[in-house]
Chain A
């Protein structure tokens, strides 16, 4: 603990250290962060909540961090008081861009790896990202108190990855606190101090912005040049929008206003804006009166990769869903949506997400925080369809797939990194081949662990890929992916028809080779899920007008309860009323009554839910 903490706005960059922690979910990043908060004295023991920095319930329950924050920690070494800014990074594959901005705000990174598990694919990807940003890496093995810990083995693996000696890999336990002080000392010693021009026009990079019900948007920045002061007007360089800086300060970890933020400092800004889109991650903040000529660079608009239709089970909840999305959007710059109508599901929204975890988190928040029951349609990616007249149509929903002559369809690609023990290489290669993957390379991280690199269509990994990968490798494989352009592919739209009526909710765009399998799967599923009607119901899968699979639900011939005497009447009436109630949950497709449960069961990929929870 430092005796006198350096004061914000008057801190010499030489005593500032900005760092983040790169770690996989479950590798103990939040626990280690908690321990640092305690050791540096910014949080008293009695105020300590487990995983202090992860505020949202869902984050705490899932044990993962969705939104990053920054905390200023005082630390004394060799008689000098330092200001350490710990920037917490999101730990999941869907938030790569946000991770990259957090990394850009730091000079160094603690590479935290579970001493019982070794490095995972996402950590490796983020490590590469940090190395590309020239960050100083401090390798650390966590959970050394675990009986299953193998510190020698994984220290060698880390040393092999980043270069250096296994002896230099620190060993800590976030749980017991062992080694954490040494780590704090090492951060001060090894990380370079931030560099910047205090006299230049102010430039600060936004690495996070969070909507707070009481304060509006809270923007987290790292100051590179110059200084920001309260009450002055600031400008967002990407949009040229300007705002008055109502409050500026640092988190330690509760927000504490300061007289400003200078070179190398990390803190928050409040301008009173109500929408995180006005404070975009990656953007550069400058002084309105004395604007910088050039932004810091690296800004990119978040790009939704996966789309899904969200529909309220109860149609009257549509306005509630709209309001709920409007609310979540305030805090999530990556969330995009527009109203959509489905013949089968009624009114809803087509929502774009960064990835499947993002989708699951949003869906879960909508259900939990806004008490909504939702149907979400099978997630799909964005296709670019070129027609013969050279017109290009962007398809985010199978129902938008053009009917006319299609010349070419382009699908988004990803480059994926998979880490796994070498015994599973064959199984992984087989899976990736089935998913139309092209192998790009393979490296041994150690004698037993292999890194495989593939280029895959995004569509092939959004549904159940991760589950299959996990099950084929007994849970050992980890996966990371990032967008990697697009490719032309032989894709077709498969329609599902119930008694000749298109059911838009069940349409899918698939590779031609897989269309038949999809048709057989979906018609078979629906035959099981849709109750018998008073007439025969054919279920067909079709590409255009060509039927590729067919099932049929035989007509029901008898439903009548044979006996109805004095003692049966009350029971029968109550049953009838209950059935009536159940009928309200039926959707009509033409004349066919389809229970909503059937839609949910047919559309839900249970796999994808499990995936997000892993």
Chain B
């Protein structure tokens, strides 16, 4: 079951944005997200908008997808110009999925070329693709680097076979070092994704995954607590009692472990679930999400944001391809954020960052909450006195509670 789209206002067929979206666009960075909705198999925990090869045909099929999504990029360029948004070069591009590397490297390169042709790239732009360790080869990674990709994010998830089995991950653990080595040889920066708290994962299992990941000396690690989404196979297995339910205390323990392990290895946290080796290794594309920058999200179910307007595309690849084939915007719905919603998002997103949230930017109710947050060891006192709200380790685990306390009732 692909994830459910939010409820919003209807989006116009021409995709045109309200005038407010263009205001101040010159001072915001511009990113591109390309959603690749294909996977070899669906993982038991995944509720993303992704499909296996046999599920789709027509313009939604894998072999025609590069052309279909490139058509949205052309529409995007027209819409942004027509909406008065300042023309900017792309500072980041991110291919996510699904499994982008299920498409031939040549197809991914073609989509990237189309984007660069429309907007151009800023010097030093970050271009990432997600990849499964078993969907890349030495050759495909070299091709990606040649096509302009600078970074690859591998879905390692765990180094422990029985944990990978519960997650339905198909790769062999020993495939990961090989893939990382090839990426390095191709000159790509490497990020690893880890998942903790899988049913049946012991603390020792998790420590092993952390250690194996660190042995590969990645530039960046994302570690996520497993979330059981409704409608997934794993949710059904838990409901039937076939595997144990996840446990928040176990998650907390494992978060502390990964944070300690990564910091000891010289990596630093810069967002609740993200660690980087050096400042330059932080994922600038994702920072754009948290900073409220502009990005266009292309592909079925992809979300976009330009100047306080958020919208999302139709979810199903076939419907998506059809829309573009008809020359119609694939947007399914959108919302224009009012000042209070923008404030809520700003607090919610920036509170997750190591750089923190400017206390001066908070409204009265938020400023008044800071003392209590210090008292409860949720924010770092020295940072707070310096005017920035930065979460402690405990605060990172209870970030939702912190955000609640900062927002007005």
Contacts and interface: CB of A to CB of B under 8 A. Distances in A.
Contacts of B348: 564, 569, 572-573, 576
Contact of B349 (A557, A563, A569): A569
B409 A571 contact: no
The interface size bin for chain B is: 35 or more
Interface in A558-574: 558-567, 569-574
A567 B297 contact: yes
Contact of A534 (B301, B304, B376): B376
B224 A565 contact: no
Contacts of B341: 573
B227 A559 contact: no
Interface stretch (B72-80, B81-89, B182-190, B394-402): B394-402
A583 B409 contact: yes
B312 to A, nearest CB: 7
B227 A562 contact: yes
Interface in B281-325: 286, 289-290, 295, 297, 301-305, 310, 312
Contact of B225 (A554, A558, A572): A558
Contacts of A560: 272, 352, 396-400
Nearest to B398: A559
B255 interface: yes
A579 B404 contact: yes
A565 B286 contact: yes
A571 B6 contact: yes
Nearest to B347: A576
A564 B297 contact: no
A570 B248 contact: no
Contact of A576 (B33, B297, B407): B407
Q: When A and B form their complex, which 6 residue pairs have the shortest distance between CB atoms, in order from nearest?
A: A557-B252, A562-B224, A558-B252, A560-B399, A567-B303, A562-B225
B317 to A, nearest CB: 16
Contacts of A565: 286, 289
B277 interface: no
B398 A569 contact: no
Contacts of A563: 224, 227, 273
Interface in A534-578: 534, 554, 556-567, 569-574, 576-577
B398 A534 contact: yes
B234 to A, nearest CB: 15
Contacts of A556: 248, 398, 401
B302 A567 contact: yes
B345 A573 contact: yes
A580 B405 CA distance: 10
A580 B407 contact: yes
B400 A557 contact: no
Contacts of B344: 573, 576-577
Contacts of A558: 225, 248-249, 251-252, 255, 397-398
Given A559-B401, A564-B289, A583-B404, 15 more contacts: A534-B401, A559-B397, A559-B399, A560-B397, A560-B398, A562-B227, A563-B224, A566-B302, A566-B303, A567-B301, A571-B6, A573-B344, A579-B400, A580-B409, A583-B409
Nearest to B196: A562
A584 interface: yes
B403 interface: yes
B327 interface: no
B272 A570 contact: no
A342 B345 CA distance: 37
- Max chain B C-beta neighbours (<10 A), residue from A560, A562, A577: A560
A566 B305 contact: yes
Given A557-B252, A558-B398, A570 B335 contact: yes
A279 B3 CA distance: 66
A534 B289 CA distance: 28
B126 to A, nearest CB: 15
14 contacts: A554-B249, A556-B398, A560-B272, A561-B227, A561-B400, A562-B224, A565-B289, A566-B289, A566-B295, A566-B304, A567-B303, A573-B345, A576-B344, A579-B404
B282 to A, nearest CB: 14
Contacts of B303: 566-567, 569-570
Contact of A570 (B223, B310, B400, B407): B310
Contacts of A570: 6, 8, 303, 310, 312, 335
A430 to B, nearest CB: 38
Interface in B82-132: none
A346 to B, nearest CB: 16
Interface residues of A, number: 26
Nearest to A584: B409
A421 B328 CA distance: 77
Contacts of B252: 557-558
A257 B333 CA distance: 67
A569 B350 CA distance: 12
Contacts of A566: 33, 289, 295, 297, 302-305
Interface in B346-373: 348-349, 352
Nearest to B283: A565
A207 to B, nearest CB: 54
A580 B404 CA distance: 7
Contacts of B302: 566-567
A576 B403 contact: yes
Contacts of A580: 404, 407, 409
B3 to A, nearest CB: 8
A572 to B, nearest CB: 7
B84 to A, nearest CB: 22
Contacts of A561: 227, 400
A567 B312 contact: yes
A566 B404 CA distance: 21
A433 B120 CA distance: 88
A573 B349 CA distance: 10
A566 B302 CA distance: 9
Nearest to A535: B376
B193 to A, nearest CB: 10
- Max chain B C-beta neighbours (<10 A), residue from A559, A562, A576, A580: A562
A598 to B, nearest CB: 18
Contacts of B248: 556-559
B138 to A, nearest CB: 29
A571 to B, nearest CB: 6
Contacts of A534: 376, 378, 398, 401
Contacts of B404: 576, 579-580, 583
A570 to B, nearest CB: 5
B400 A569 contact: no
Nearest to A559: B400
Contacts of B273: 562-563
Contacts of A557: 248-249, 251-252, 394, 397-398
A565 B394 CA distance: 22
A577 B340 CA distance: 11
- Max chain B C-beta neighbours (<10 A), residue from A554, A564, A572, A574: A564
B36 to A, nearest CB: 14
Contacts of A577: 344
Nearest to A560: B399
A555 to B, nearest CB: 9
Contacts of A567: 3, 297, 301-303, 312
Contacts of B224: 562-563
Contacts of B297: 566-567
A563 B196 CA distance: 13
A580 B344 CA distance: 11
A566 B303 CA distance: 6
A565 B348 CA distance: 12
- Max chain A C-beta neighbours (<10 A), residue from B33, B297, B400, B403: B400
Interface string A221-233: 0000000000000
- Max chain B C-beta neighbours (<10 A), residue from A569, A574, A577: A569
A564 B348 CA distance: 10
B396 to A, nearest CB: 7
- Max chain A C-beta neighbours (<10 A), residue from B8, B304, B310: B310
Nearest to A567: B303
Contact of A569 (B33, B345, B378, B399): B345
